[in-house]
Amino acid sequence: MKEKTIIIAEAGVNHNGDISLAKQLVDKAAEAGVDYVKFQTFKVDKLVTKSLSKADYQKNNTANNDSQYDMLKKLELSKNDHEVLKYYAQEKGVSFFSTAFDTYSVAYLKTLGFEHAKIPSGEITNLPYLRAIAKAFKQIILSTGMAEMIEIKDALDALMAEGITKENITVLHCTTDYPTAMQDVNLKAMLHIQKEFDVKIGYSDHTLGIEVPIAAVALGATVIEKHFTLDRNMEGPDHSASLEPIELKNMVNAIRNIEEALSGTGIKEPVQAELKNRKVARKCIVASKEIKKGELFSEENLTVKRSGNGITPMKWDEIIGQSSSKDFDTDELIII
């Protein structure tokens, strides 16, 4: 039976530094029925150098030419913001979650009572960060955008060296491009990760639309992460590659439907709902014209039609050549 997929609605920095917008994102995540609404926790001074330029997708979705430092400084959530959002999410019936982007933020998130942590793709080669995460949390979600298989192995080794068991790690396949083109998804790489490392797998999606996360669930993803926004036309680095609220809700509903579709026994056999349709869908052997008692059954006087319960056409060869035990009218079920 397919276990329930954990669906993480990635609000990220789509609050634009405004706590009221962040609350609205929580509202929409709760309405969509996701399991977690996730934000990002960072101290810009500990995250980027002041001279680092923005990525191309960030330049394309922001109006000014400021640095990545200046852009992210406006999107930094305070400790008070985190606490407000945590309790607001609880009131709305959805779990609050956040990704730490530096070791200072890892320590802070631990104080909020989280039992698990998400390692973003950009930190998969950050050994001090990996060690800090492993010491603070015992359940880890590891995103693998931009990574080679050897880098995933090294990250897993680093986590397990600090006592994290493989059973408590979920590895997300991911393509770090916003938005990700369909030809760059390489979704079956998720299965490669599972086979190579014997871990639970999931998918962090940056494509436009909802098709790929749904397909990932059908392939065995146990965690789905997807960016969402209140409005894709808002200014900010991640809005344009995010789902709008109705799309998020549609994705959740589709994933839950896929879980239902995968919840059977795995054995090919008719389900109870099908059995009542056999009488009207399957064919039986009937008389194609009047047949007199004692006449031999032949291909000239027999045919196959939908006709309710009768002799299955799979016994055709057995019936041909037998003598009729009674008179039969046209379309009458053959009995012997």
Does a structural domain hold residue 333?
no
The whole-angstrom separation of Cα 122 and Cα 146 is 8
The reported pTM is 0.90
**Co-location of 185 and 309 in the same domain:** no
**Co-location of 73 and 121 in the same domain:** yes
Contact yes or no for 135/127 (Cβ under 8 A)? no
**Co-location of 23 and 147 in the same domain:** yes
**Co-location of 314 and 202 in the same domain:** no
**Co-location of 306 and 218 in the same domain:** no
Instruction: Render pLDDT for 128-140 as a digit per residue (tens, 0 to 9).
Output: 999 999 999 999 9
329 CB-near residues (< 8 Å, 6+ apart): 287, 290
Does a structural domain hold residue 110?
yes
The count of C-alpha atoms lying within 13 angstroms of the C-alpha of 194, restricted to the half-sphere facing its C-beta, is: 16
For residue 51, pLDDT over 90 is answered with: no
Taking alpha carbons only, the member of 7, 17, 39 closest to residue 26 is 39
Total domain count, the chain: 2
**Co-location of 242 and 281 in the same domain:** no
Instruction: Render pLDDT for 157-181 as a digit per residue (tens, 0 to 9).
Output: 999 999 999 999 999 999 999 999 9
The 10 Å Cβ neighbour count of residue 284 is 18
Contact yes or no for 213/185 (Cβ under 8 A)? no
**Co-location of 256 and 278 in the same domain:** no
Does a structural domain hold residue 267?
no
Phi, psi of 97 (to 5 degrees): -150, 155
Query: DSSP label at 269?
Result: -
- Beta strands per DSSP E along the chain: 6-12, 36-41, 95-100, 116-119, 139-143, 169-174, 200-205, 223-227, 283-287, 302-306
Query: What is the extent of the structural domain holding 302?
Result: 272-319
Amino acid letter, residue 51: S
Among positive and negative, which fits the CA dihedral 122, 125, 126, 131? positive
Instruction: Render pLDDT for 255-309 as a digit per residue (tens, 0 to 9).
Output: 999 999 999 889 999 999 999 999 899 999 999 999 999 999 999 999 999 998 8
Q: Looking at residue 83, which CATH number applies to its domain?
A: 3.20.20.70
Q: Mapping DSSP to helix (H, G, I), strand (E, B) and coil, where does residue 332 land?
A: coil
**Co-location of 193 and 283 in the same domain:** no
Does a structural domain hold residue 86?
yes
Does a structural domain hold residue 327?
no
Does a structural domain hold residue 331?
no
Does a structural domain hold residue 329?
no
**Co-location of 211 and 280 in the same domain:** no
**Co-location of 242 and 300 in the same domain:** no
**Co-location of 257 and 282 in the same domain:** no
Does a structural domain hold residue 285?
yes
Instruction: Render pLDDT for 66-109 as a digit per residue (tens, 0 to 9).
Output: 888 988 899 999 999 999 999 999 999 999 999 999 999 999 99
**Co-location of 185 and 48 in the same domain:** yes
